[in-house]
Amino acid sequence: MNREFKKDEYVISTDQSKLQFDAIHNFLKTTYWAKDIAFEKVKKATKNSFCFGMYNENKQMGFARVITDYTSFAYLADVYILEEHRGKGLSKWMMKVILDYPELKNLRKWALRTADAHTLYSRFGFKSPEKPESYMELYL
């Protein structure tokens, strides 16, 4: 199931052995959605998800993970591109790779949460829930 995709000097890979957990953790612990998250939690969540790492000169500079049953549903999480690589269309390319990925392509439903990237995700058909009253969550 491991594949690689190339664009200019960038590579997206689904090979978990290439993931650089320190790089992923260093970014995520500074975000609004995973502020101060423990390294072990990042590592465990990543190992239990289908992940897309983006690399430039073998250094991880982007990431996304998909939590899925590979049949009907997927939740997209922890998507990022390091700031110094933004503005090159890489997030759009990553989203296209993820949504066109053969094992994910025919899912019935995708979900995600974002506070600041609505423009990116709406380009790919994501929208606010039609029935937000049916959405529930539990925080422990």
Q: Is the pLDDT of residue 1 over 90?
A: no
pLDDT tens digit string along 22-45? 999 999 999 999 999 999 999 999
pLDDT tens digit string along 110-140? 999 999 999 999 999 999 999 999 989 998 8
Q: What is the pLDDT of residue 45?
A: 97
Q: What is the DSSP letter of 134?
A: G
pLDDT tens digit string along 53-82? 999 999 999 999 999 999 999 999 999 999
Which of the four CATH numbers 3.40.50.300, 3.40.630.30, 1.10.645.10, 3.50.50.60 does domain 4-134 have? 3.40.630.30
CA dist 90 and 52 (Å) reads 13
- The encoded tokens of residue 135 equal 């959405």
CA atoms within 13 A on the CB side of 131: 3
CA dist 123 and 119 (Å) reads 7
